[in-house]
Amino acid sequence: MRMGIMTGTRSSSDDVNQIGRTITIDEVVGLVQRAESAGFDTVWMANVFALDAIMTMGIAGRETSTIEVGTAVTPTYPRHPTAIAQQAVTAAAAARNRFVLGIGLAHKVMIEDALGMSYARPARHMHEYLEVLAPLLRGETVNFSGEQYRVTGLSVGAAGADDVPLMVAALGEQMLRLAGRFTSGTITWMVGPKTMTDHVRPTLMNAAQEAGRPEPRIVAGFPIVLTHEPDEARARIAAGLALYGRLPSYRAMLDREGVAGPEDLAIVGDEATLRAGIERIRETGASDFNAAIAETDPGAFDRTFDFLASLA
């Protein structure tokens, strides 16, 4: 199982309950360089309304030599699939083909409530999006006519860019089947080990097999922190991730797992506890562990990073 870490677009190191300041490109590049030196396989970057994750990971890839960089994830609705394809092949060229494009639907509160775009048929949207985007990332010419997208005789490319790996944040059955049929795999968040084993992996694998595709990757994201004060850490994680527990798609996964909130999925405790938690994720068949390190107290990020590096 590959070992990766997650970075956002804001720093909340002073207080997990606060939004924090916007981080700089240099800070992201520094983290990716540090992760590469420490032996991590991948760094994934979230995309909110600060640094553009595709551009930033392309820059970070150019400033490193071996580590894989990717987005987890870039929302589809605000970007036409041809536009995101152009961004992705540019990032791949900059990163010398160590860039992975992770995309996702985001949530109604962002797409419809904040941006004013219809979120009425998300699975249809993603299906058509992948019909256009997936072949573009393979360097093919696309001719597609659907309800939401129509593209005629278009291709994208960048000198030095090979085919760009594509992944989808998928939770429900329809989305998992689309991920298995069209992409290299899925990136999960708020999905527990039981749900991974009983729902995510079999649905994804069956869809890939039916489509004649290689075995897909599963990048499993979990909050994690090395601490000798687990109760206090979980309380801070609960406060910091409270919003996730209210978003419908994540709430469905938490309910399927049988847990009350995001803090119940977090891997929190001493070294033995963290090793056992990561091993449980490995046993689900996940190909990648994506560590979202929670800065629950001063020094928590560094000591957790160093511990994960010892496993990587």
CATH of the domain at 41: 3.20.20.30
pLDDT for residue 43: 98
Mean pLDDT of 145-171: 97
Residue span of the structural domain in which 63 resides: 2-311
- Residue carrying structure tokens 């049929």: 181
Domain count, the chain: 1
Residue 49 banded pLDDT, cuts 50, 70, 90: confident
pLDDT in tens, 81-110: 999 999 999 999 999 999 999 999 999 999
pLDDT in tens, 124-149: 999 999 999 999 999 999 999 999 99
Average pLDDT in the chain: 95
